[in-house]
Amino acid sequence: MSTIRGSASFVWDTNKMLGQGATSTVYMGRNKKTGEEVAIKVFNQQSYHRPYAVQMREFDVMKKLSHENVVKLLTIEEELPSRARVIVMEYCTHGSLYNLLDQPENSFGLSEEELLNVLKQVTAGVKHLRDNDIIHRDIKPGNILRSVAPDGTSVYKLTDFGAARELQQDEEFISLYGTDEYLHPDMYERAVLRRAKGQQFGVYVDLWSLGVTFYHAATGNLPFRPYGGRRNKETMHMITAKKEHGVISGVQEQQNGPIKWERDLPPTCRLSGGLKALITSFLADLLEKDPDRTIGFDEYFNRVDDIISRRPYHVFNPFSFSLLLIYARPKDDMSQLRQLITDQTGIPGGAQLLMHEGKVLKDESREPVSSYIRNISSDNPIIVFNKLPEFRGFFKPHYGSFKDVPQETNVATDYPLAKRNFACLHSAKNTVKTLLHNDMLTTKAVKMYSKYVHEKCCQLENTMDHLVRACSDVRLWKDQLFMSIGMQAGMFNMLTTSNLKPNGIDLAGRVNMLQTIHKTGNRECTQMCTGMQSKLDKAMALLQDIKAGHMIDADWDPSKGCLPSDKCIEKMDFMIQRLLKIMNSFREDRAKQQLNNNDEQIHRFDKNKMKEICVTAMTLVDDDCTKKALHLFSAFKQLYCKAVQINDAGERLEILMSEISHEHGRLVNKLKVSGKNCISQMDVCMVALGQSSAVPNGDSSEVAEITPPASDQPSVRPSRQERLDTVLDSLQSTRSSLEEVRALITENTTLMEKFNSLGEPTEDYKSWEYVP
């Protein structure tokens, strides 16, 4: 009999079945004119037992909908010659989400990226339904179809509107639909247990089903699993109806055994800690029976929006050997990013040193981090260093556990056993990948930190050079200044004993003052110089220590951990290929049910091989990769503790240099003030002397005689004007030398400013401020 069927415009082969449900079989078909591939839903006899209005509802609902994440209705035609109505839909090329979850590599749930994709697209489809006041009532992975876009990304589409109907937000319905494991407990009680007759349900039943679907997608398992599965109906209902708020899974492992309640996703789940934290509370709210605590659709859409709008930042934490994903909101700034890092690492914001591509990330900007932190990936993550050398336990990813392989052949159970171990092997490969990646990132962290310490050391050395120069200069100027002040005091003293006393000037008072400045100022400044020098000596010694140990990565050996050249991933791939062959052959054996001697023999060999593969894989992960990663981790710990000592010494040196800089500033100020005072004294005096030069020769009533210094030479007594000029010249030259010293001090201030700006490259230098 021919297997070809057709309608007016489409043709399909009943041998090319895409899937089968309770009410229909879906075939792959083609448009007769264009050859376009389509999916044809052909209803079975069972479906016609439903009321006519219900039969029509699927068509009506599909006609109303048009969205990228909802399977598109192409047309409704009649099969010829039966005239039974068939639905012609767009063909989704890659099966359903259920098929994807059934693949062994997804046995412990989808990857992070794929889960976010499912969350985003399924929610967009549900939103379109809600916008059209439609509830689905049978949301489950089998009713979420998958196509692949040209760029390789999955496109998910809601399908099967056989149970859907129009329902406003606050309306209720009585008829029962859905699939056992995904049913809201109230619906389950009514539909499966046939109790609580007459109870009405609202749109919230879709939210529960979405919760179960997302849990399934995140973990590869159903959240509520009574012992014996679907058949154990009472326990199933008990688990869902009695679970406490916040519990997201309940599993019964033995007959009539206790229920293992969980509030977290299982450790085998492939999601990052960051996403797990967001998803867990979201799932807890979806899987909530208490009407006072359930969330509505608006809240559901907001929560999903919040999750998918976040930007993931890869952050490597070498202190726990883990690569984290930090989900920051679009507007989060640096301090908020730090807080999110604290949430996952326990490292307080103030103790975090964040580095990316060798540079320290600074906190100055209040701008969203998304506007300036770019180019972050798992290979190029932000690295968080803890300024305090505190370590968390080594993080080892879980890969589940291989199931024991019994000797005896059992064709019925050997295939699921192989499938389970195949899934575990995939998970083990992911663990190997993670360990290798974290080994590489640890080495990257070491190199980065080492370079940071080295650069800091060079800066310290540079700064120290400037400081030494500045201090020796200021010492020199101090000597020159006080020499000039001394000369000035001598000059004024000479005037007091001469007859060239300038009018209205208390020369004796000034001499006194200058002598005090000279004596006490000089003493104080010399003391300051001595104090500065002793600090400088200490700083030099500290710098020498830092320089001796600052190449912290000199002995770092990356081969303590695994290297790509060890080919661990390739080894896992090889085992995966071998186990895949065995698994496929076990599937064929299961279909045969009875094996001939030859097949039986091969089956037994394969089983031994499977056992061998499991043992080899476990040895590779646990004894090789994990142990090596642990070695590398402890080498990092040792190195970091040493690095912290150097860093501490650097910080102490910075404090010391800051103190020296401060003292230098004080000294410069003191010299500047002294110099300025002396110059103004001198100016007043010179003006007065200039006036006194107008006094006529021989008039000694107002201006005293200058007594010339004693000399062995017979003295020719100079004229009064000559003597006055000599005094003025001396004063002038003393003034110039004071001016010079003042200029040098000012120059020194400029030098110190320059020197302060040299401290800029690291944030620790911010405290380094020259306060004149």
Ligand X SMILES: Nc1ncnc2c1ncn2[C@@H]1O[C@H](COP(=O)(O)OP(=O)(O)OP(=O)(O)O)[C@@H](O)[C@H]1O
**Number of other CB atoms surrounding residue 667 within 10 Å:** 23
Per-residue CA distances from 572 to 130, 421, 422, 582, 616 (Å): 46, 13, 11, 15, 9
Closer of 159 and 235 to ligand X (Cβ): 159
Write down the least CB distance from residue 48 to ligand X, Å: 13
Give the bridge partners for 386, in sequence order: 352
Active-site choice (102, 133, 138, 473): 138
Structure-block tokens of residue 518? 């000279």
Closer of 179 and 352 to ligand X (Cβ): 179
- HSE-CB at 324 with a 13 A cutoff on CA atoms is 26
User: How far is 594 from 506, CA to CA, in rounded Å?
Assistant: 129
- HSE-CB at 559 with a 13 A cutoff on CA atoms is 3
Lookup result for tokens 């010339």: 708
Q: Comparing C-alpha atoms, which of 745, 681, 313, 35 is closest to residue 12? A: 35
Contact 403, 368 (CB under 8 A): no
User: How far is 624 from 617, CA to CA, in rounded Å?
Assistant: 10
Write down the least CB distance from residue 89 to ligand X, Å: 4
Contact 14, 79 (CB under 8 A): no
Closer of 95 and 549 to ligand X (Cβ): 95
Q: What is the DSSP string of 594-648?
A: S--HHHHHHHHHHHHHHHHHHHHHHIIIIIIIIHHHHHHHHHHHHHHHHHHHHHH
Write down the least CB distance from residue 209 to ligand X, Å: 12
Q: Comparing C-alpha atoms, which of 764, 769, 750 is closest to residue 457? A: 764
Closer of 142 and 368 to ligand X (Cβ): 142
Closer of 26 and 187 to ligand X (Cβ): 26
- HSE-CB at 608 with a 13 A cutoff on CA atoms is 5
Write down the least CB distance from residue 160 to ligand X, Å: 4
Structure-block tokens of residue 644? 């912290």
User: How far is 220 from 109, CA to CA, in rounded Å?
Assistant: 4
| Position with the least CB separation from ligand X | 21
Contact 20, 12 (CB under 8 A): no
Closer of 86 and 453 to ligand X (Cβ): 86
Closer of 21 and 397 to ligand X (Cβ): 21
Lookup result for tokens 């499977």: 610
Closer of 77 and 160 to ligand X (Cβ): 160
Q: Comparing C-alpha atoms, which of 174, 371, 212, 348 is closest to residue 289? A: 212
Q: What is the DSSP string of 358-426?
A: TEEPPS---S-GGGT-----SSS-EEEEESS---PPPP------PPP--SS--HHHHHHHHHHHHHHHH
Write down the least CB distance from residue 39 to ligand X, Å: 3
Contact 252, 258 (CB under 8 A): yes
How is the chain split among helix, strand and coil, in percent rounded to 5? 55, 10, 30
Closer of 26 and 528 to ligand X (Cβ): 26
- On whether 419 is known to bind a ligand per the annotation, the reply is no
Active site residue 206: no
User: How far is 490 from 496, CA to CA, in rounded Å?
Assistant: 10
Write down the least CB distance from residue 98 to ligand X, Å: 7
Beta-carbon contacts of 134 under 8 Å, excluding residues fewer than 6 positions away, are 61, 64, 65, 161, 164, 165, 166, 167
Instruction: State the DSSP H helix or E strand holding residue 684, giving kind and residue range, or none if neither.
Output: helix 627-692
Contact 220, 101 (CB under 8 A): yes
Residues that bind ligand X (CB under 6 A): 18-24, 26, 39, 41, 71, 89-92, 95-96, 138, 142-143, 145, 159-160, 162
Write down the least CB distance from residue 45 to ligand X, Å: 12
Write down the least CB distance from residue 239 to ligand X, Å: 23
Write down the least CB distance from residue 418 to ligand X, Å: 24
Q: Which residues of 280-307 are buried (b: 16+ CB within 10 A; e: fewer)?
A: bebbbbbbbbeeeebbebeebbebbeeb
Dmax (CA) of the chain: 152
Write down the least CB distance from residue 561 to ligand X, Å: 44
DSSP state of 517: I
Closer of 161 and 224 to ligand X (Cβ): 161
Write down the least CB distance from residue 63 to ligand X, Å: 16
Q: Tell me the residue type at 518.
A: H
Lookup result for tokens 């050079």: 465
Q: Which residues are annotated as a binding site?
A: 41
Q: Active-site residue numbers?
A: 138
Going by the annotation, the residues of the binding site for ATP are 41
